[in-house]
Chain A
């Protein structure tokens, strides 16, 4: 009894040090967010207001839910480019079923979730059983699903959800909006699954070395199929939340979210090669992006620059990541001619 306590006590500092090293990217990101917040709170009187911070949190939530799904898949070494379209189709279907067809809310939500399940299975099936890379499969699905969303409504916006449905987007628990709570819960629950269940260990192993995982008897296809399904289901959830928030469904809602979600995941430190990453990094990544977008507006920059900023941020994050891993020397960035 005494022995084990002593062992634990002496292990404390080492454990903390390991934590600091292992999660250095998270700490760096947290510091970046705090620095940015400090700067913006001086640069604009509107930044540090409850209203504005709530806005940032709300904007982060819908994309964040999708980004968590994207994190799961990328850890497994796969990718889903159809996340934005899946979300758009979910929102459109919800509007069509609940508003136009006047289905009960539970029935509409259930059907939409069923759609997410099917989409995940289709993505997974073609990526895992036909050996077509998921990059291509989900690029095709991006077109298919977005197209379907437009076809269903003939490109029209369908608006006017019942109040009970709108709660999903506008409800609050205390002062915290429901979408934020959903996003945070998803982030925590998914990371608990990834860190502490056998499934999580098998997913990291699969992403790290698929052949090795297969050889030790992990059912790689099952593991990845579940990841595809999780990704699509989370996009569906995001689509429901977004349509409730906007009180409408349209095929173009969420078409920009792919860029933001991918950026959040990469900034959050999930490895592009699979095998590493966590949802808290993704959470901080999406907060950083939303803050930058918000800051640009508050500073009076043309809103079209937002996309440029996010795109540039993706590139920067990848370069920083590769430099940290030692795969890229900063000098290599300069063209050969300039270096001489």
Chain B
């Protein structure tokens, strides 16, 4: 489970679709969710394949967040089912999904600022030795992990509060990567960042793809989506209205799907 060497280097870089094992990692079937009168999610059927990066796009209120929260167990669907690696699962809390290797990086609320980078990377799974927190191991392994993801952080013993927005996002992604080897969900990973920092985070996501992780990216930024995604899923009014492979679509096509001028 350690990350001593970057395994992605030996695998196919770039467009390695042929090399992937087919079959969905995560599958949501016929999921409905209402909040009072509001139907947030209507008959959503959605899948992510092994090693695939899927972007979910759509306007505000299209149901992206609801779908993502259901996939992590943060909220529960009214009807419908979830399958992870072909077996049906039901997540009562985010802890349940975490245990099965599904993690999410949410906007803004990912890190505990009062803790060090290393502590944040290991938060929730702090290693111990004879009941004692093994800080040395935590610091060593998080430095290695950050290195392997090409993330630059001055010192893993620095408080997270001292980091820039991009560095914080990177640390959050590193943590998710550590614990979410099956599926990583990134909710607006670049929204709060400047141009350069956003590019850096995209680089990290591309690095993750080299490590054969399945990824869901929720984003408003179509440039970013086209850069990292293999497939783009469009939502509107609580429904999934389209799914396109990146090679077979254009920005214009996706925009039309988002605003509903073409189905």
Contact = CB atoms under 8 A, between A and B. Distances in A.
Given A211-B109, A215-B106, A276-B114, A202 B126 contact: yes
In the complex, which range does the number of interface residues on chain B fall in?
20 to 34
Interface in A179-232: 196-198, 200-202, 204-205, 207-209, 211-219
A182 B115 CA distance: 30
A152 to B, nearest CB: 39
A211 B94 CA distance: 12
Interface centre among A201, A215, A276 (most CB of B within 10 A): A215
A196 B114 CA distance: 16
B258 interface: no
B124 interface: yes
Contact of A216 (B74, B123, B128, B157): B123
B193 interface: no
B111 A18 contact: no
A337 to B, nearest CB: 35
Given A212-B110, A212-B111, A276-B114, A18 B157 contact: yes
B125 to A, nearest CB: 8
B173 to A, nearest CB: 13
A269 interface: no
B257 interface: no
A253 B106 CA distance: 49
A215 B112 contact: no
Given A197-B133, A198-B126, A202-B126, A216 B98 contact: yes
A285 to B, nearest CB: 20
B131 A197 contact: yes
B209 interface: no
B132 interface: yes
Given A213-B123, A215-B104, A217-B98, A205 B112 contact: yes
A215 B126 contact: no
Contacts of A213: 112, 123-124
Interface in A257-290: 271, 275-276
Nearest to B159: A22
Contacts, number: 73
B250 to A, nearest CB: 36
Given A209-B111, A212-B109, A212-B111, A198 B175 contact: no
B162 to A, nearest CB: 12
A219 B157 contact: no
A18 B125 CA distance: 26
A214 B132 contact: no
Nearest to A206: B112
Contact of A198 (B111, B112, B133, B157): B133
A333 B124 CA distance: 41
Contacts of A217: 94-95, 98-99, 124-125, 179
B123 A204 contact: no
Given A196-B133, A200-B133, A212 B126 contact: no
Interface in B99-130: 99, 104, 106, 109-115, 119, 123-126, 128
B98 A205 contact: no
Contacts of A216: 98, 123-125, 175, 179
Interface in B58-114: 74, 94-95, 98-99, 104, 106, 109-114
Contacts of A200: 133
A208 B113 contact: yes
B124 A209 contact: no
Contact of A201 (B95, B119, B157, B179): B119
Contacts of B95: 217, 219
Contacts of B119: 201, 205
B132 A205 contact: no
A218 B123 contact: yes
Given A198-B131, A209-B112, A275-B113, 15 more contacts: A201-B126, A201-B133, A202-B126, A205-B114, A205-B115, A205-B119, A214-B94, A215-B106, A216-B98, A216-B175, A217-B98, A217-B99, A219-B95, A271-B114, A275-B112
5 contacts: A198-B128, A204-B112, A207-B114, A216-B98, A216-B125
Q: Which 6 A-B pairs have the closest CB atoms?
A: A216-B124, A208-B114, A208-B112, A275-B114, A217-B124, A209-B112
Interface of A: 18, 196-198, 200-202, 204-205, 207-209, 211-219, 271, 275-276
Interface of B: 74, 94-95, 98-99, 104, 106, 109-115, 119, 123-126, 128, 131-133, 157, 175, 179
